[in-house]
Amino acid sequence: MKLLKKADKVIIVSPSSCIEPNALDKGINWLKNQGFEVKIAKHTYDSFSYTAGTDCSRADDINKAFADNEIKAIFCSRGGAGSTKMLDYLDFDLIKNNKKPVFGLSDSTALQNALYHKCGIVSYTGFLPVYDFKGDSLDDKIAASLQNVFNGKEQTICSLKALNGGKAKGVLIGGNLSVLCYLCGTAYFPNLENKILLLEDIGEKTYKIDLMLNQLKQQLNFDKLKGIIFGKFTDCIEINEGDGSVKNVLKNFALSLNIPVVFDFDYGHIKSRYVLPIGQEVELDADNLLLKIPSL
């Protein structure tokens, strides 16, 4: 079953940081070339402090996008910061009755995990029409992965790198480590039971990565987690001797767990990455180094 088809109407919103004029031009053209009719939400280009408009206005764009029956998918323009601030203004009852996929990455983690936890919505992490068109064209891996998503096709991703062996099935949640930790202790943090956790980050000190992983470990039902997929930790450096490299921090964390764990997966703040479903069951095989995403 196809997720999206030609002539479907999609909308671009800015739930996080503000964007420059014309920053969306290449992304809009690419979406149109896929056959979609592209609409821009009212406050997409707004600016208020470091966010694209006030918390209320950004949430209003999202509420209206879900309420519009003609809209078949929602694309977050960029990441940055601020999506957690507008969650309290979302109408989750309305959203739950008008489910549709949301595409994003990075700061979109807060929105996507909240939508899954509160409404059972499957979102897709790994594509932003501003961030991914800083060059002349969209990366081939992202483009191919998006086509699989749009067409509802099964994806089998090979050549994983394992820290812990084992096999697991579970609903994929997570995304950006820092942003997911912002949700800890809130009504929007997803239940970890029977989940596979996807994590990446950028520009964080390695000791902070260690502390954030420990924060997740202290959340309810972490002991019922099924597996972990560590993506790329871009520009995450050891500041003081003894802090440990990213690989050592992840390796030591994995050693404390009795579940399959893979690392260095092509997802995160990198040019070439996979687009993955937040809220859908996947199969992680750390023995045979495979990740299987079933068809819709």
In order of 62, 137, 256, 277, the CA distances from 253 in angstroms are 37, 37, 6, 24
Q: Determine the residue type at 1.
A: M
- From the CB of residue 236, how many other CB atoms can be counted at a distance below 10 Å? 19
Catalytically annotated residues = 106, 200, 269
Dist. CA 278–CA 101, nearest whole Å = 10
E strands of the chain, at which residues?
A: 9-13, 37-40, 71-76, 102-104, 123-125, 155-157, 161-164, 167-176, 195-202, 227-234, 261-263, 276-278, 281-285, 290-293
Which among 92, 85, 112 is positioned nearest to 101, based on CA atoms? 112
Strand-strand pairing, 227-234 and 261-263: parallel
Q: Is 82 left (phi over 0), alpha (psi -120 to 50) or beta?
A: left
Give residue for tokens 């323009």.
77
Token pair of 147 as six digits:
């086509």
Contact 245, 155 (CB under 8 A): no
